Structure 1
Amino acid sequence: MLPTSGSPSDTVRSSAGSDGGPFSGERLTEALAGVCAAAGLDPVGATLIKCTANAVFRLASAPVVVRIGASTALRHRVEKVVKVATWLAEHDVPAVRLLPGVAQPVQYDGYVATVWEAVPAGGKRPRGRDLGKLLRRIHDLPQPASWLPPWQPLADVRARIGEATDLDPADLAFLQDRYDDVADQLSRLDFPSPPSLVHGDAHLGNLIPSPAGSVVCDFDSSSYGPPEWDLTPLAVGVVRFGEPAGRYRELVRTYGMDVTRWSGFAVLRAVRELKLITSVLPIIGSRPGVRAELFRRMADVRSGNTLARWARYT
């Protein structure tokens, strides 16, 4: 984590690139200042706590988190994020809450952002059973209104491949071919569970500890679709990121289903891994530090290496 003192430009420059991409230091500093001005907030001393598909800041001036998106092709998702967060709050699901009194989403010079109440510090590290309990609550909610889009897990992959101007033609061709193959396999699946609201990116990194227990965040990929999809990230995380297998077993026991025993899991794993590869495509020009991991993941999928461990994008 970066220091909370100093100017926002100092904070951004220490973690973002400088080559003019959407999350280059100067552009992101300006975006944070503009978003904060529109929301009536002070950006001085803000901490950049994450910068991959979104740049996430915690403000020093108030218990507030600002989340700024990078992908121009995926800006439409932010309206949905606001509606999902509101829906979960209405049903008292433990989740991050939008900051009251701010018209959301907040737009500034092509950037689209959301502004959240910071989760109070404290509480135990989230476990697999916490994820299982939260997913069961989410999947058992009444069917949301028509604003919730149908599950299309590869739509963001297609959009990001279309934005990937910093890759060689051969790499782009590989990703496009992989997309076509996985999309074909996915179209043939017949899911055993009825559709519901799905979080869309349900891994332990999207649970935040609090004194009252774990809360869920990040609704970019939420949709109306198969619950099996929400059980997939942690299962893939055990293989690719070395997550302890016991965490997944806790999820299975608490939720009541082991998705890895379903015949369609191999396809869901392929979808998940393609998303994990392409999530940083919009920012590789401004975040050169992620390039090595991106190409390592691509090489593993190219070679059919299903056991290689991956490192988290940072």
Structure 2
Amino acid sequence: MSGRFSEETMTAAMRDIATTLGVSAEDAQLLQMTNNAVFALPEAGIVIRIARTHQLLDRVTKVVRLGNWFADVNAPTTRLAPYIEQPIQVRGLAASLWRYIPRHLPALKAEDLGMVLREFHTLGTPPFPLPLWDPIGDARRRLADADGLNKSDYEFLVDWCNHLEPEIASLSEREVQTLIHGDAHVGNLLREPSGRAIMCDFDATCVGPWQVDLAAVAVGERRFGTTGTQRALALSYDFDVTHDPNWGTLREARELKMIVAAVPILATSEDVANEFNRRILSIREKDLKAPWKPFSALRLPHRN
């Protein structure tokens, strides 16, 4: 399938960026094709993250500012690629560039995530404004870029946003606000050569209730069929989010995010569209146990 944000389009944008930087893209590796198209260029020592939407370009500027601040405070995070003015814009898209970190053993686990989050949540907030946690606003912006979304699903998702919005507002008013990653799961961890576990992917980083960062693993275990990850995270962080009074709202906010993430790219992959349909049907039927598949594990569209 083709589309404005297809693999073909993203690959061409990546090659344009490599040309601008004067580096080779011959060894380019596609790492991810979900909200961002993420390419590793090992020889150049960089990772290129291209936002797959025209509606969220402000996020790229935000993550670049965060990347610079993270270096200043020695945060447990990946670092921006040095000596490159960022963000980079190409073909109407925006990209950030990061240092390439080869895979190192041992494999990262929920225990690592818990320890990293405990440190991350003590960083304080940077000396520049960050958005507040706003899963409803994020969802609505993605719906505005709804490539291939039918009217019935669009209306259902809008209604869900309307229903959940006051609950989110109430939760945010009650709870302590701190720096949160916003998409905290093991897939967003890397291991440095020193062995230190660090976080990556700061598109969703904002200020909000710290419990938000513990919800992704709990919902992922329920939906993706993993076992033991939630307990391991709870033990490592010393808190079980599923026992939090706000758990129902946190769960719904996470599931909404996991569904609307596919909206801008529905037209680029039949497998993504099928998984999207499976997820939204389970929400319509209020089936809290229906299994989902990670978008990152689906077959990517072929280049033309």
Normalised by the shorter chain, which TM-score bucket?
over 0.9
Asked if 1:234 corresponds to 2:211, the answer is no
Amino acid at match of 2:82: P
Q: Residue 79 of structure 1 contacts residue 105 of structure 1 at CA under 8 Å; is this kept in 2?
A: yes
Q: What's the counterpart of residue 156 of structure 2? A: 174
Amino acid at match of 1:120: P
Task: Give the direction of change, closer, same or farther, for the CA distance of 1:194–1:187 in structure 2 (3 Å limit).
Answer: closer
Task: Give the direction of change, closer, same or farther, for the CA distance of 1:238–1:191 in structure 2 (3 Å limit).
Answer: farther
Bigger relative CO (Cα 8 Å, ≥ 6 apart): 2
1:192 is displaced (CA, Å) by: 6.1
Q: Pick the aligned partner of 2:183 from 201, 219, 229.
A: 201
Asked if 1:216 corresponds to 2:175, the answer is no
Alignment partners' CA distance in 1, 2:4 and 2:90:
16
Alignment partners' CA distance in 1, 2:104 and 2:43:
20
Task: Give the direction of change, closer, same or farther, for the CA distance of 1:150–1:161 in structure 2 (3 Å limit).
Answer: same
Unaligned 5+ segments in structure 1 are 1-16
Task: Give deviations 1:269-295, integer Å, cap 9, x for gaps.
Answer: 001001100101111112222011000
Amino acid at match of 1:168: N
1:243 is displaced (CA, Å) by: 2.2
Alignment partners' CA distance in 1, 2:100 and 2:22:
16
Q: Residue 139 of structure 2 contacts residue 256 of structure 2 at CA under 8 Å; is this kept in 1?
A: yes
Superposed, 1:73-84 pairs within 5 Å as 73-84=55-66
Alignment partners' CA distance in 2, 1:29 and 1:86:
26
Alignment partners' CA distance in 2, 1:58 and 1:190:
37
Q: Residue 147 of structure 2 contacts residue 265 of structure 2 at CA under 8 Å; is this kept in 1?
A: no
1:60 is displaced (CA, Å) by: 4.5
Q: Residue 123 of structure 1 contacts residue 210 of structure 1 at CA under 8 Å; is this kept in 2?
A: no
Count of aligned pairs between the two proteins: 295
Amino acid at match of 1:207: L
1:208 is displaced (CA, Å) by: 1.7
Q: Pick the aligned partner of 2:245 from 241, 257, 263.
A: 263
Task: Give deviations 1:120-174, integer Å, cap 9, x for gaps.
Answer: 3312111222111111111111332232222212222111111114122111111
Amino acid at match of 1:241: F
**Which of 293-302 and 42-51 deviates more?**
42-51
Asked if 1:95 corresponds to 2:77, the answer is yes
Superposed, 1:131-170 pairs within 5 Å as 131-170=113-152
Q: Which runs of 4+ in 1 moved over 4 A?
A: 190-193
**Which of 273-282 and 32-41 deviates more?**
32-41
Task: Give deviations 1:197-225, integer Å, cap 9, x for gaps.
Answer: 10000011111233323221100000011
Determine what percentage of the aligned residue pairs are the same residue.
35
Q: Pick the aligned partner of 1:126 from 108, 111, 116.
A: 108
